[in-house]
Amino acid sequence: MLGEVMPLSGKNRYKILIHGLLILLVLVLAFPVVYALITSTLSFQESYTYPPRLIPGNQFLANAAVAWHRIKLGRLLFNTWLISIVVALAKIILSLLAAFAYTHFKFRGRGLLFPMCMITQMLPLPVRIVPTFQLMASFDWINSYYALTIPFFASTTGILLFRQFFMTVPRDLSDAARVDGAGPMRYFLQILVPVSKTNIAALFVIEFIFMWSQYLWPLIVITTGEMRVVQIGVKMLLASEQIAPEWNVIMAGTVMAMLPPLMILILFRKSFTQGIAMQSQK
Amino acid sequence: MGGKPEACPPHLGPCRPKGEAMQEERFPGYRWLPYLLVAPSIAVIVIFLVVPFVQSVRGSFFISTPFGTKTIYVGLRNYIRLFSSPDYQNSILTTLAFSSFVIIIGLSVSLGIAQLLNQKIRGLGFYQVALIWTYALSPAIAGVIWASMFAPATGLVPYIVSKLSGGYVLNWMTNGRIALLVVVAAATWKMLGYNIVFLLAGLQNVPKALMEAARVDGAGPWKAFWRITFPMLSPTTTFLLFVNMLYAFFQVFGLIDIMTRGGPGNATEILVYKLYRDGFIHLNTGSASAQSFVIFFVISIGAIIQLRVATRKAIYAR
């Protein structure tokens, strides 16, 4: 943009400057994770050398194995994968259905959509934490997958996202379906859902990462080692040390705990950025 | 509903007022189906959000005996105790300091980076991913990584500080102010990715023609930014201000729990951490419910401001 007014050589110099700056930023931003990766490959002695060592070692597998056994990491990863996928899918399905109702039908109470979303937005867990916990206890859901999933199922994020998209779907499509004798649910399943796949993927990324990062809720509703999620596992790794923290082991566990959401983001990055861009366009 | 603003929950995107355009009945004659379609969402919201919240407000006027066998109505006593407690006053100030740092530093840095990204350069796709991935990290993970970088005996940062200053021993685990700054740095770093995603999307929606026109009129880049880009971006920034507020108030819980547990002393004990401690460690549910309501009150103010700004038409309406 700026470069266009400058002569060619200046423009090139400007481009090089931009690239240099961006690469520097990328490196600075990545440094903490690179440091964690390096630490995860060192032996205990190497992690305590002074000055701190910045050359990778070859102990990652050994450290990972220690972390794996110490906090039953395999089980925790399984738990976290399970709840993240279940919640993301449930949120997608529930909000697709609700958005379909709000955009394709007239019914009493439709005007309550925005007030409802507004209220939901103002009620994050901490403002209702004690009774929500007591509710779990009264359902006998403490230490269960139910407590880790069902309370998260509604997503006004998703309802508003799909609503906005559904309104841009041409009316001809639903009219044609109706002329062909297709009922609303058939139109929904065979036409509307397939054309929403970019938005579905974007919402999946958002909700998967959201669930993977849950910390406070699992901390209070889960008390047994078997049912924990990886975030709490990392806390356990950190807390299990008495004298000197084994940073190499902690970091090996940390690396394994942060890879899945990163993978999901990179895998779906196109739909994710497109979904967000679409969202802020309107 | 025409003309009413859209309320957006976190991680949705900036909201803009919107007409009723396409919202009409496309399948007439189905009376019960729409209710059936919204029922699951409404049920979850009512059972797990609205009812517990109402109970929480009610609970803030009661205290319970140590084993939860009896509850006693105490009126406003929980609130009076709370606001006269120096611990709680400290927690309010800590939250204010922490969240303003996280929000202001985070948004300014992200805006700068998003500006750099918002141009035609080769490798844009790569840079995008390479700058937004911190979005996929959880606050707890960010916390443990920064804790290791600042670890007193082994961390890289204390080593560098000691080399540069000629022997200063940086120990954030004993120095409250430094602890707060380290926690702020970790929290801000984690949120950069998210902020960049939305700011970049917002910047890309600023019409190129407007920038062109400004340049023809002789406006420099600085002036063009403040007069055109910044106002056009206001729905995005307002939305991000609110999301960052929610983040700095609540979502950083894991980061605080892993890094400092509110310490040293109570230097990093933000409101949500104190709430957790009082409600689930000290089992003082009355006080915890009162604290919940205070937090709700603060968020509502944020939400209302966000809504007000979102409703105001952008200066350059399209």
Contact between A231 and B123 using a beta-carbon 8 Å cutoff: no
Q: Are A95 and A161 in contact (CB under 8 A)?
A: yes
The number of CA neighbours under 13 Å toward the Cβ of A9 is 0
For residue B47, list chain A residues with Cβ-Cβ distance below 8 A.
135
Q: What confidence tier does A1 reach under pLDDT thresholds 50, 70, 90?
A: very low
Residue to mutate among B109, B144, B189, B281, with most A CBs inside 10 A, is B144
pLDDT for res A88 = 97
Task: Of A21-35, A86-100, A191-205, B116-130, give the lowest mean pLDDT range.
Answer: B116-130
Q: What percent of chain A stands above pLDDT 70?
A: 94
pLDDT at B315 (0 to 100): 40
pLDDT in tens, A184-242: 999 999 999 999 999 999 999 999 999 999 999 999 999 998 999 999 999 999 886 56
Best mutation target, B36, B148, B211, B246, to test chain A (most A CBs within 10 A): B148
Residue B121 class from Cβ within 10 Å (0-12 exposed, 13-18 middle, 19+ buried)?
Answer: middle
pLDDT in tens, A3-52: 455 555 677 888 888 899 999 999 999 999 999 999 999 988 888 888 88
Chain B residues closer than 8 Å to A184 by CB:
27, 30, 33
Closest A-chain CA to B138: A213
Instruction: For residue A213, list chain B residues with Cβ-Cβ distance below 8 A.
Output: 137-140, 251, 254
* Chain A partners within 8 Å of B45 (Cβ): 116, 119-120, 154, 156
Asked if the model's pLDDT at residue B179 lies above 50, the reply is yes
- Mean pLDDT in residue range B245-254: 94
One-letter identity of residue B71: T
Mean pLDDT computed over A118-127:
89
Which sequence spans correspond to the domains of chain B? 87-311
- CATH code linked to domain A71-244+253-281: 1.10.3720.10
pLDDT recorded at residue A140: 95
Distance from CA of A85 to the nearest CA of B (A): 15
In the 8-state DSSP scheme, what is residue A112? G
Residue B92 has pLDDT above 60, yes or no: yes
In this predicted structure, what is the pLDDT of residue B66? Answer: 65
Between A46-55, A257-266, B248-257, the lowest mean confidence (pLDDT) is in: A46-55
Residue B265 backbone dihedrals phi, psi, to 5 degrees? 65, -120
Give the ranges where chain B is alpha helix by DSSP (H): 33-45, 51-59, 77-84, 86-117, 124-132, 139-149, 156-165, 176-204, 208-216, 221-224, 230-232, 234-246, 253-259, 271-276, 285-311
In angstroms, the separation between the Cα of residue A224 and the nearest Cα of chain B is: 16
Whole-number Å distance between alpha carbons of B30 and B135 = 42
- A86 pLDDT more than 90: yes
**Signed CA dihedral, B289, B291, B295, B301: sign only:** positive
Separation of alpha carbons B156 and B117, rounded Å? 30
Strand partners, B62: B73
In the predicted model, what is the mean pLDDT of chain A? 90
pLDDT at A279: 67
How many angstroms separate the Cα of A47 from the Cα of each of A18, A248, A249, B151, B167?
36, 6, 10, 11, 21
Percent of chain B residues past pLDDT 70, beyond the cut = 88
Whether residue B181 has pLDDT greater than 60:
yes
Partner-chain residue, chosen from B7, B153, B202, that has the shortest CB–CB distance to A117 = B7
Record: fold of B87-311 = MetI-like fold (1.10.3720)
| Touching B: A residues 180-219, CB under 8 Å | 183-185, 187, 206, 209-210, 212-213, 215-216, 219
Count of all residues that appear for chain B in the document: 318
Could you tell me the sign of the dihedral formed by the alpha carbons of B224, B120, A19, B131, in that order? positive
Residue B15 has a pLDDT of 46
Residue A179 contacts B where some CB pair is shorter than 8 Å? no
Choice between B116 and B263, residue whose per-residue pLDDT is larger: B116
Q: Would you say A261 and A207 are in contact if contact means Cβ atoms under 8 Å apart?
A: no
Mean pLDDT of B172-185: 92
Q: Please report residues of B whose CB lies closer than 8 A to that of A15.
A: 121
* B295 min Cα distance to partner chain A (Å): 6
Q: Which residue of A has its CA nearest to B211?
A: A1
pLDDT band of residue B206 (cuts 50, 70, 90) is confident
Q: Give A215's contacts (C-beta < 8 A, 6+ positions apart).
A: A231, A232, B138, B139, B140, B253, B254, B257
Mean pLDDT of chain B: 86
pLDDT range class, residue A175, cuts 50, 70, 90: confident
Q: How confident is the model at residue B171 (pLDDT cuts 50, 70, 90)?
A: confident
Q: Write down the residue that tokens 């609503």 correspond to.
A: A163
Structure tokens of B213? 């026109």
For residue B23, the distance in angstroms to the closest alpha carbon of chain A comes to 5
Per-residue pLDDT averaged across A176-187, rounded?
88
* Average pLDDT value for residue range B6-14: 44
Q: What is the pTM of this model?
A: 0.90
Instruction: Decide if A28 touches B, using CB distance below 8 A.
Output: no
Q: How far is CA A55 from CA A36, A58, A65, A245, in A?
A: 12, 10, 21, 20
Rounded Cα distance, A212 and A232, in Å = 11
pLDDT of residue A262: 96
Q: What pLDDT, in 10s, does the model give residues B31-89? A: 899 999 999 999 999 999 999 999 999 999 998 776 667 788 888 999 999 999 999 99
Q: Please, are residues A280 and B202 in contact by the beta-carbon 8 Å criterion?
A: yes
B21 and A19: CB-CB below 8 Å? no
Within an 8 Å CB–CB cutoff, is residue A63 touching chain B? Answer: no
Tell me, what's the pLDDT at B312? 61
| B67 SS3 class | coil
Phi, psi angle pair for B235, to nearest 5°: -60, -40
Select from B30, B38, B296 the Cβ nearest to the Cβ of A98.
Answer: B38
Which chain A residues contact residue B205 at CB under 8 A?
280-281
Per-residue confidence band for A134, with pLDDT thresholds at 50, 70 and 90: very high
